[in-house]
Structure 1
Amino acid sequence: MEREELGMKYDEFVDAVAIRAGMSPAEAEVLAHAALQTLADRLTAGEARDLAAQLPRGLAESLEPRYEKAEAFGLEEFVRRVGNRAAVDLSTAWYGMRAVLATLRGGVSVGEFQDVIGQLGKEYVEALQPAR
């Protein structure tokens, strides 16, 4: 079975991020890679690899872990790193990061997404809640 048969295709993922974040597919593509690279820093290497196994080629490579252990940093630092990697302001990074996580929620297995959120923590779950 090919990797892309497990879930969304690359373009579907990027388009979903673009729609959720209200940006062009080109902007969404840059932000998706930046958010996934940052996620790889925040997750254990094993979890990053498990998540990558459920993503299409082209996105999975962005989850290549640099370290075996997860770096401990909060949501604010996560957004800052996404912004730096994507060369966008914090507001754009925030919407892009939320859109990527929401797209992951629908694009990977429930168990895998729960494993990811379990490592990220409560503030990330709250960031995914719709604005009131």
Structure 2
Amino acid sequence: MHYLAFVDRVARRTGTSEERAVELTRATLETLAERLTGGEVLDLAAQLPKSLQGMLRPHPRTEAADRFGAAEFVARVAQRAAGDENTAREAVRAVFTTLREAITGGEFQDVVVQLPRDFRDMVEPALAPASRRR
């Protein structure tokens, strides 16, 4: 999937402008990079367009992921995107759904297994059949 298509899908899913969708995508991917192991971040980035790869930077000193739950994830996205937590939660869902469409199913599963169960309400919409996601 091309960068502009990715951003357009996030914009449509969040009901925001493309500029705001870029901010929300960046905030979500930067936070996701903190939550995943370094190797998984690199694997995920390899399947994304160059413009999105730069948003996924593993921590340079460690392979380990930061351990935090869904509430902290949403709070970090909200802070990075200068928005409220409800908007951030919807943005995370939109980005996860778009990620699922942009990368292989196996790679998406590799990402999901690194997230605790409290991420379920944000990840499950991305796991729904394509007909329900649109």
Q: TM-score, normalised by structure 2?
A: 0.87
* Matched-pair contact (CA < 8 Å) for 2:47–2:103: yes
- Separation of aligned partners in 1, 2:34 and 2:123: 19
Counterpart residue identity of residue 74, structure 2: V
Which position in structure 2 is the counterpart of 1:32? 25
CA contact (8 A) 1:17 1:99 kept: yes
Between the two proteins, what is the percent identity of the paired residues? 50
From 98, 101, 115, the counterpart of 2:110: 115
TM-score norm. by structure 1 comes to 0.88
Aligned length: 123
What one-letter code is carried by the residue in structure 1 that aligns with 2:82?
A
Deviation track 1:21-79 (CA, whole Å, cap 9, x = no partner) reads 11111111001011000000000000000000000011111111124210000000000
2:84 aligned to which of 73, 89, 103:
89
Which of 15, 21, 34 matches 1:22? Answer: 15
Question: Which residues of 2 match residues 31-110 of structure 1 at below 5 A?
Answer: 31-66=24-59, 67-110=62-105
Aligned pair partner of 1:10 in 3, 16, 28: 3
* Structure 1 segments (4+ residues) deviating >4 Å: none
Report the CA distance between 1:112 and its aligned residue. Answer: 0.2
Question: Structure 2: which 5+ residue stretches go unaligned?
Answer: 126-134
Contact 2:37 2:64 in 1 (8 A): yes
SS at match of 1:81: helix
Q: Per the alignment, in what secondary structure is the counterpart of residue 54 of structure 2?
A: helix
